[in-house]
Chain A
């Protein structure tokens, strides 16, 4: 079966710009979570969506936002990019209610210059 697909794989943006990242979960998975991974901070939780509703939110500024569509695909948006936003952004999907564990995508590597 197809895995979690994240696009694009790599992105270079300039400070002040905004960016939208996309995540297509495994078919049947209704929960999508987003994480930011950096060498110094590990995996930081951004938010989780379930059936188009944001169910949980991490401690990131309002510049970070997301949404989920009726087909469970999810997008996250970062506005007014800062150098510190450079990171690997990982999306993970799961059945959630069954506690099967998360399946991660390969991530989007964002570089802000």
Chain B
């Protein structure tokens, strides 16, 4: 069945450093979504990418969807302590298909 793999599992950075998490699917995705879960909280929707090669930015966050629609990445420039949390990618194999989450990347930021 469809699998979504995410690396790395953990990332520890110094405040001000950049951070990137990568997501790979075993099958072509119709879309990919990204979520952030703060410690003790629940996942919060960040963005959805639909088009092959799509790039979207939200302030210091840059999201990319691969040309083959099988991989994606989230890049944070100049991390801040408020960026702490676990970042999940989630993909659906087809429109209306089940949304499968990656294992998440836990980001910690040292001030």
A62 within 8 A of B: no
Q: Are B42 and A45 in contact (CB under 8 A)?
A: no
Kindly identify which residue among B41, B99, B102 contacts A42, using a CB–CB cutoff of 8 Å: B102
Q: Are A42 and B42 in contact (CB under 8 A)?
A: no
Q: Are B48 and A48 in contact (CB under 8 A)?
A: no
Q: How far is the CB of A47 from chain B (nearest CB, A)?
A: 8
| B:32-46 near A, CB below 8 Å | 33, 35, 41-46
| Residue among B41, B46, B96 with most chain A CB within 10 A | B96
Interface contacts (Cβ under 8 Å), in number, total 55
Q: Are B48 and A106 in contact (CB under 8 A)?
A: no
Given contacts A42-B104, A43-B88, A59-B1, contact A102 B42 (CB under 8 A): no
Kindly identify which residue among B1, B45, B96 contacts A101, using a CB–CB cutoff of 8 Å: B45
| A:76-98 near B, CB below 8 Å | 90, 92, 96-97
Q: Are B101 and A43 in contact (CB under 8 A)?
A: yes
Interface string of A55-90 (1 = CB under 8 A from B): 111110000000000000000000000000000001
Give chain B residues whose Cβ lies under 8 Å from the Cβ of A92.
43
Q: List 15 A-B contacts (CB under 8 A).
A: A33-B99, A42-B101, A42-B102, A42-B103, A56-B98, A57-B98, A90-B42, A99-B50, A101-B35, A102-B33, A103-B45, A104-B43, A104-B44, A105-B42, A106-B41
Q: Which 10 A-B pairs have the closest CB atoms?
A: A101-B45, A56-B98, A43-B101, A104-B42, A42-B103, A104-B43, A45-B98, A106-B42, A101-B33, A101-B48
